[in-house]
Structure 1
Amino acid sequence: MTKTANKQVICKVLLDAGKKDENVMALCSDSRGSASFTEFARELPGQFIETGIAEQNLVSICAGLANCGKKPYAVSPACFLSTRSYEQCKIDVAYSDTNVKLIGISGGVSYGALGMSHHSAQDIAAMAAVPNMRVYLPSDRLQTECLMKALLRDEKPAYIRVGRNAVEDVYEEGCVPFEMDKATVVAPGTDIAIIACGEMVKPAADAAILLRGKGISAAVLDMYCIKPLDKEGIIKTAEHAKAVVTVEEHAPFGGLGSMVSQVISENCPKRVRNLSLPDAPVITGTSGEVFDYYGLNAENIAKVAEELLKDE
């Protein structure tokens, strides 16, 4: 099983694009190393800007470049990009409708032991609440590549969150059923629907395999497009299931679970259980340790799904 960090794929796609189009630019806030953008800076120094630890400047400079016809990508830790520069993301990028792509690296609890100051468990809610701002959380390297190539073709603002560590493939080489702003059905099912985003898609898919071994048919929906949310995909998947489980590396408020619950309550009411990080500073540990501690793993997802079905 191939394991690659999504941030590395982002750099490769942008580097390839930058070699063909001098307007493609990458800007970092003292984060080229952690963002895996050292190669971009080395090969295309004229299309790379290092702002230093100044996230607000990073975003505003990107907006200025976009208004000059450039195609800037702001690459910075998600925990800082989504908080320190929130006003600039809101006004300079979204409100002004500038062609700036905000790449939040090391999202969720990727920084592990560095604690709450370096975790981004609120960014889905924060960015999705901004009018005109799209929000994406790709699940693996293959989907990340498809998403980045699609974003290169449009001129609208977007926030993309990826993790820090290498992740296992969800899809297969040459077989990625990607459609822009449409959730991907990873597995069909009729008993329980599991809707996940980002790094939680792989454990959701593994949970479906565990459930299948117990005679339970579990659908898995990869909701990489948090905003615009694929409501049609949610309804179609939920209508054929008895209950729904959502899984996200985010706080319990305002994220995927909240959005899915709203759609289902309005269109096809049924029980929804949201698995997420707690409304509290998380424990210290690696991403895997944190996920296991809070039940964001295949075993617990399958367990919760079984419990929900027993109550139906």
Structure 2
Amino acid sequence: MMGSKGNVGQDQSTLFRGDDTELRLKDERSVRGTPAKAMPAFILGEELADLADSDPRIVVATADLANSSRTRDFANRHPERFIDFGIAERNMITAAAGMASCGLIPYVATFASFCAILGAEAIRTDCAYPRMKVRVVGHHSGISMGFYGTSHHSTEDLGMMRTIADLTVVCAADANQLRAILRASVEHPGAMYIRLGRGRDAPVYDDVPSDFAFGKAIRLREGTDLTIITTGSQVHASLAAADRLAEEGISVRVVDMHTIKPLDAEAVRSAARETGAILTVEEHNIIGGLGSAVAEVLVEEARIPFRRHGIMDEYSLIGPPAALYAHYRLDAEGVAAVARELLEGKA
């Protein structure tokens, strides 16, 4: 037992994320008790199968992780358009580029560390450079793999992917936003990297966003004292942190910067002008990811208090995910604490 807040009856997503609950190594409830539709990675195959019902161009591939990504759901409905490459991630990505060159739209899914980091060269040279419509889906990103350790953690993938020319980079905050991303991705030109968590992320969007657009940030909460610009798994924690700060009289705008590239620079400039302070929050190294992208916009603007929050420039620790989120202050309490430090001039 590493902490005790006595929150009895919390759902599995709350336990996993470590928000408002005690941190434990084990729990009596199985992940099988968590509704699959509430898990972003777990609706991937289902949504792609729905899209494929009316679009014969869509094909799906995995690298021995059909169950982890739930692309098995696609395979069950469209077995003739599903390929399991085994543990051959780079070959899978290159083969997908070949499929795209023939007019197909391949969605290839594996752990983020294995596609974005291991397969970076194939994404760059085979997919993005010739502008092939390949959608590389990196699930179980960031530190969500917990005990699996450094080889399976991906805290560098956004930095690596956003430096690749002609590659769209986008992060899903929850299941409904993932559905919107997948639907919008079908006709989007060029290659794409779609980053998912492990799937236990708490819901952010009540419905599938009807007006979703790549490169257009979503303002989820208004505020005047500070803007938190966040992405993916950290959107829910940032909203919860804003709620806590509101109880203290601190007004926080929250922006979901789902698209890391192309970045919505105007949303950053508006936040700088209208709230006077910006905190970026991401489950990623503070170097190279969302924080760096926002800083590149701010460097041309008037100076304001600014801080990047995420994993410091180090290899993340190994342990239960909830404990890791608390350690790196990527839970609601931690994000709120960092925001207070920024406003108090302690960045």
Superposition TM-score, scaled by structure 1 size: 0.96
Q: What runs of 5+ residues in structure 2 fail to find an aligned partner?
A: 1-10, 12-34
Q: Which runs of 4+ in 1 moved over 3 A?
A: 174-177
| One-letter identity of the residue aligned with 1:74 | V
Alpha-carbon distance between aligned partners in 2 of 1:74 and 1:175, rounded to the nearest angstrom = 24
Alpha carbons 2:158, 2:289 under 8 Å: kept: yes
| Residues paired across the two proteins, number | 312
For residues 168-199 of structure 1, the C-alpha deviation after alignment (integer angstroms, 9 at most, x for no partner) is 11122266663332010010111011111110
Question: 2:341 corresponds to which residue?
Answer: 307
CA distance in 1, matches of 2:45, 2:75: 10
Any residues of structure 2 matched to 1:129-278 within 5 Å, and which?
129-173=163-207, 178-278=212-312
1:85 and 1:199 map into 2 onto residues whose CA distance is 22
- For the Cα contact (< 8 Å) 1:82–1:123, is it kept in 2? yes
CA displacement at 1:10 relative to structure 2: 2.2
* Counterpart mapping for 1:269-288 below 5 A: 269-288=303-322
**Which whole-Å CA distance do the structure 1 matches of 2:119 and 2:209 have between them?**
37
Give the aligned residue type for 1:143: Q
Identity, % of aligned positions: 34
The one-letter code sitting in structure 1 at the alignment partner of 2:124 is K
Moved more, 22-31 or 171-180: 171-180
Q: Deviations over 1:214-234 (max 9, x none)?
A: 111100010000000000011
Indicate the SS of the match to 1:166: coil
Give the deviation of 1:9 after TM superposition: 2.4
CA RMSD of aligned residues (A): 1.6
Q: Which amino acid aligns with 2:292?
A: S
Which residue pairs with 1:297 in the alignment? 331
Helix, strand or coil: the match of 2:300? helix
TM-score normalised by the chain length of structure 2: 0.86
User: What is the one-letter code of the residue matched to 2:193?
Assistant: Y
In the aligned structure 2, how far is the partner of 1:115 from the partner of 1:90?
A: 26
How many Å apart are 1:245 and its aligned residue? 0.8
Matched, 1:43 2:74: no
1:140-162 Cα offsets, whole Å, 9 max, x none, are 11111111100012232100010
Aligned-partner Cα distance in 2 for 1:114–1:174 = 32
Query: Of the candidates 132, 140, 147, which is equivalent to residue 106 of structure 1?
Result: 140
